[in-house]
Amino acid sequence: MGTRVTIKDVAKKAGVSISTVSRVLNKSSYVKKSTFERVEAVISELGYSPNHIARSLSKGTTGIIGAILPDISNPFFPALARGIGDAAVARGYTLILCNTDGYASHEKSSVRALLEKQVDGIVFVTGSSRAVELVREASKACPVAVIDREVQGVSCDMVTVDNYRGSFEMTRHLLNTGHRHIAYITGPMHLSTSRERLRGLRDCLAAAGIERQPLVFNGDFKYDTGYSFAREIIRLGLDVTCVYCANDLMALGAMRSFLDSGLKVPEQMAVAGFDDIAMSSLIRPALTTIAQPAYQMGVIAAEFLLERLDNGKELAPRSKILEPVLVIRDST
Amino acid sequence: MGTRVTIKDVAKKAGVSISTVSRVLNKSSYVKKSTFERVEAVISELGYSPNHIARSLSKGTTGIIGAILPDISNPFFPALARGIGDAAVARGYTLILCNTDGYASHEKSSVRALLEKQVDGIVFVTGSSRAVELVREASKACPVAVIDREVQGVSCDMVTVDNYRGSFEMTRHLLNTGHRHIAYITGPMHLSTSRERLRGLRDCLAAAGIERQPLVFNGDFKYDTGYSFAREIIRLGLDVTCVYCANDLMALGAMRSFLDSGLKVPEQMAVAGFDDIAMSSLIRPALTTIAQPAYQMGVIAAEFLLERLDNGKELAPRSKILEPVLVIRDST
DNA sequence: TTGAAAGCGCTACCAC
DNA sequence: GTGGTAGCGCTTTCAA
């Protein structure tokens, strides 16, 4: 814990005013070359580094953005967080990270904490059903970019993946490979992603003239849930040739379950997921899934936000829908 | 972007001085009950929330801690980051996250960014060989807790895992299961974790009176590296019955490589790792590995730091060495 | 129990 | 080109 060197110390030692020191710090207006160099010399001599907090207070911006997401230890989010972080750092911003586990209460306290810290903007991956009001509250204080999970009725930048289309294509693939009796394990239904994926499945089935409805289980994106529903499917001897899950983690669980029960995947039971987390390409049989550009989503969302901060705030809300891609591997 | 309500507005509306408002905000000294309630009413009426930046400037603390780590999208770190974050939030702190990819230059700019932001403390997972000077520089400005990878010659809190012992035990297990011709793929050798793990291996071999030296490959903790060294091992027909890797990611790569080449794991080639990332228990054959309590490490490190911030800074540096545990699964 | 006022370290406007 | 100075919004003596 050293002594804090302030702009005043530099000014005194260089024999100039603090205004001048501030000018060389910010290169904000011309300073005579010799003065400039003298000040710079003193700065490095004293090891001075500006107090960003003080600067923030007087400028009204902090150079910090916040990211609110459900759980960094869920394998889908690290890439996303990395994308946000990289884009932020590239523009000289710094990132505060908040985990909510999808609880409205944690989302609320995260929003509050970030706003108190006067972050310049927030990237928000919603997890609770109270998303709208929280996004709205946050938007009153700073720009917000909603990412991954769509939030209706708010006006802010939004970056998502075309979940409907991804799911539609996956379903078509499933139909192409001969499956007609499909079980589907959903994600939490208050999330747009979950709803869209289910809708994609249904519409594709309908479009193909399949009248048999898929067997739908209400899941929650967790590995264990995939595992147990799969076990149920076996136990009940359900007439199903394929289990398609709303995310990879559940698909991995389901696959494990089938394998543990001695079923051959994909011969006796096909399994498909959604996300394309790292694990999915590494296990065997490798999982057929819909790849989401998570890193890219993070980058784009952060860039939307930062452009809005740098240029005027009065840009119209932008939204970007990224195209997911079907990755056919060995599980289907 | 709403109007910022300040303490002044509250004071005026409540007909008191800003000092009094500050007092009710901080409950720092007695305020007459009726005044207190009136102020509180105005606060919620106006939707006032204190500007943390201003508070930070005058108090000299920010309530923010920084975490510097190599890469949040490397599966070992999310749990650790979550641990740090949870402990921080529990104490009312907020977390800034920086990724360095192990580059000294990025570590340096991260340290700088955090110090400028006046963070109250830093949790540092070192990745470069310039760790010592960076930790030292950071320590001049705020408390630092070094985590996971040990840094010699600095005086700060430190939380690590007993890598030596973990590796020793793994080796004993390998010997117990009959392996004598062991190949070992190291991590980056400038990391204490890598060195300790190698030392554990060697010492255990020596202790068991095995004179044949292990075949050591210099790795870098990456999946692909495990994959290619394994392929080399096959290609060269090296006389080895077991490949032990300094982390799970490489072990997973090696295993994949063997499997792809038609070798049976563990019958024809055993594989062992270190870390116990989620994937390791999910693949088949499940990976034998040394489990590290990553989440707990994060929690403890953050708590060391925060206790130091709350109580006096003059605590002697503490260090905690957690015990890893051998998890025997199917790959050995 | 409350108010006035001096900072915290910096930026930015206004003079010279 | 450079200096003086009024804030930024809050905390914290010091008085009253």
Q: Which string of DSSP letters, residue by residue, matches A168-230? A: HHHHHHHHHTT--SEEEE---TTSHHHHHHHHHHHHHHHHTT--SPPEEE---S-HHHHHHHH
Tell me the chain A residues in contact with residue B123 when contact means C-beta distances shorter than 8 Å.
none
pLDDT at B311 over 90: no
Mind listing the pLDDT tens digit for each residue in A239-248?
Answer: 999 999 999 9
- Kindly state the average pLDDT of the residues B325-330: 97
- Give distance CA B115 / C1' D9 (Å): 22
Average pLDDT, chain B: 94
Interatomic separation, CA of residue B153 and C1' of nucleotide C10, rounded (Å): 36
Task: Please state, in angstroms and rounded to a whole number, the distance separating the CA atoms of residues B130 and A237.
Answer: 60
DSSP of A97-121, one letter per residue?
EEE-TT-HHHHHHHHHHHHHTT-SE
| Whether B59 CB is under 7 Å from strand D | yes
Provide the angle, in degrees to the nearest 10, between the axes of the packed helices A77-90 and B77-90.
Answer: 80
pLDDT tens digits, one per residue of B158-191: 999 999 999 999 999 999 999 999 999 999 999 9
| Amino acid whose CA is nearest the C1' of C7 | B58
Decide which of B2 and B90 is more confident.
B90
Q: Can you give the pLDDT at residue B4?
A: 79
Q: Is B105 helix (H, G, I), strand (E, B) or coil?
A: helix
Q: Is the CB of B295 under 7 A from strand C?
A: no
Angle (CA) B99-A99-A64 rounded to 5° is 55
3-state secondary structure of A64: strand
pLDDT at A1: 43
Q: What's the gap between Cα A68 and its chain centre?
A: 8
Please check whether strand D approaches the CB of A32 to within 7 Å.
yes
Residue pLDDT tens, chain A, 332 long = 446 799 999 999 999 999 999 999 998 888 899 999 999 999 999 999 999 999 999 999 999 999 999 999 999 999 999 999 999 999 999 999 999 999 999 999 999 999 999 999 999 999 998 999 999 999 999 999 999 999 999 999 999 999 999 999 999 999 999 999 999 999 999 999 999 999 999 999 999 999 899 999 999 999 999 999 999 999 999 999 999 999 999 999 999 999 999 999 999 999 999 999 988 998 889 999 999 999 999 999 999 999 999 876 678 999 999 999 999 999 99
* CA nearest to A109 within chain B: B89
CA distance B146 to B157: 6
Rounded average pLDDT over B10-20: 93
Res B114 pLDDT > 60: yes
What is the sign of the dihedral through the CA atoms of A185, A190, A192 and A193?
A: negative
Task: Give residue-wise pLDDT tens across range B218-229.
Answer: 999 999 999 999
Q: What does each C-alpha distance from B92 to B143, B192, B310, B311 come to in angstroms?
A: 17, 32, 11, 15
Strand C, nucleotides covered by protein (CB < 7 Å): 1-5, 7-13
Strand partners, A319: A158
Sheet of B242-245, strand order: B215-217, B182-185, B242-245, B270-272
